[in-house]
Amino acid sequence: MRSVGWRWFGIVAGIVIVALAIGLYVNKFLRAPTPVSAQQTGPAQAELTLGTTPAVGKLGGHPSWVSYLVRQGNQWKHTTTFDVPAHSLVKITILNFDGESGLRNPFLSQVQGTVGGTMQLNGKTIRNISPDAASHTFTVPQMGIVVPIQGVADDAPNQCEEMPCSLGQAHETVTFMIRTGKKGWIRWQCFVPCAAGFFTGFGGPMQTIGYMDGFLHVV
Ligand SMILES: [Cu+2]
């Protein structure tokens, strides 16, 4: 009798431990970080400045991981969840401090779904970049948006290795405008296999919210 009781105890305890472990794992990987709000610049208009870095450094939990960040005032914040106003024009600037990784699918080197179907690269209006020169993409599948991000050239002087990067260091500036719709949570992600050291470049930061994935929280 006693051994049956212990057996049941063991089974229940085992189930509880496994359930807790699964819960913690899912929570860690799926929980969205604290959002940062786009800055309202007028009625139905806002601006958001992001950054991409070869390594997040001490601003993130995995210092060596490639990451997106958001700039608030003069500071970098490590989050990839952004509050943006509904039914508005949102101007997004991405300051990319990372090098060229290259796209496997050249289709994603064409700008898609932005206002005018264009972006500006260091002030010049363009519709695509060379697939080999891509460092990251800012892709919002649900909105049909693809913005390829030009990488910093290998021989560029004064490169930033990890955040916080200063604007005086080598970077490429990408600017584009998107039009938001109704309220909701919309997933965005990078499609360049930029996760160095991971199988096919698509592991780790490429599948972890807060690094190469996040949400547009339309409010
Ligand atoms: Cu990326």
pLDDT at 32: 56
- The rounded distance, in Å, linking the Cα atoms of 110 and 83 is 26
| Contact between residue 70 and residue 77 where contact means Cβ atoms under 8 Å apart | yes
- The rounded distance, in Å, linking the Cα atoms of 195 and 43 is 39
- pLDDT over threshold 90, residue 38: yes
pLDDT at 25: 82
My answer on whether omega of the bond before 164 falls inside 30° of 0, hence cis, is yes
Distance 141 CA to ligand 1 centre (A): 15
Q: Where are the beta strands (DSSP E) in the chain?
A: 36-37, 39-42, 45-53, 67-72, 75-77, 81-84, 89-96, 119-121, 124-126, 134-140, 145-150, 172-179, 184-189, 213-218
The residues facing 188 across adjacent strands are 214
Tens of pLDDT along 123-150?
999 999 999 999 999 999 999 999 999 9
pLDDT at 218: 96
Distance 135 CA to ligand 1 centre (A): 6
Distance 48 CA to ligand 1 centre (A): 18
Mean pLDDT throughout 148-164?
Answer: 95
Closest CA relative to residue 109, chosen from 88, 83, 135, 91: 135
Distance 74 CA to ligand 1 centre (A): 23
Distance 67 CA to ligand 1 centre (A): 7
Give the strand pairing for 36-37 and 81-84: parallel
Distance 9 CA to ligand 1 centre (A): 47
- The rounded distance, in Å, linking the Cα atoms of 140 and 84 is 14
Distance 22 CA to ligand 1 centre (A): 27
Neighbours of 21 (CB within 10 A): 10
Q: What's the pTM value of the predicted model, to 2 decimals?
A: 0.85
Token pair of 2 as six digits: 């006693």
Token pair of 209 as six digits: 């919210």
pLDDT at 199: 84
Distance 213 CA to ligand 1 centre (A): 9
- pLDDT over threshold 80, residue 29: no
pLDDT at 1: 58
Closest CA relative to residue 174, chosen from 105, 107, 128: 128
Distance 140 CA to ligand 1 centre (A): 13
| Contact between residue 123 and residue 78 where contact means Cβ atoms under 8 Å apart | no
Distance 180 CA to ligand 1 centre (A): 23
Mean pLDDT throughout 192-199?
Answer: 89
- The rounded distance, in Å, linking the Cα atoms of 132 and 144 is 22
pLDDT at 183: 96
